[in-house]
Amino acid sequence: GDQDRSISVESVRAFQANLNKDKTVNEIYIYSGVGHAFANPTGANYAPEETKDAWGKTITFLEKYLK
Contacting residues for 59 by C-beta, under 8 A, at least 6 apart: none
50 close to 1: Cβ distance less than 8 angstroms: yes
Confidence of residue 50 (pLDDT cuts 50, 70, 90): very high
If you average pLDDT over residues 25-47, what whole number do you get?
A: 97
- 30 pLDDT above the threshold of 90: yes
CA terminus-to-terminus distance, the chain: 29
pLDDT of residue 40: 98
**Residue 67 binned pLDDT confidence (cut-offs 50, 70, 90):** confident
Provide the residue ranges of all domains of the chain, joining segments of one domain with +.
9-65
Q: What is the DSSP letter of 32?
A: T
Q: Name the percent of the chain lying above pLDDT 70.
A: 100
Instruction: Please give the Cα distance from 53 to 56 (Å, whole number).
Output: 5
Task: Give, as one character, the DSSP assignment of residue 46.
Answer: -
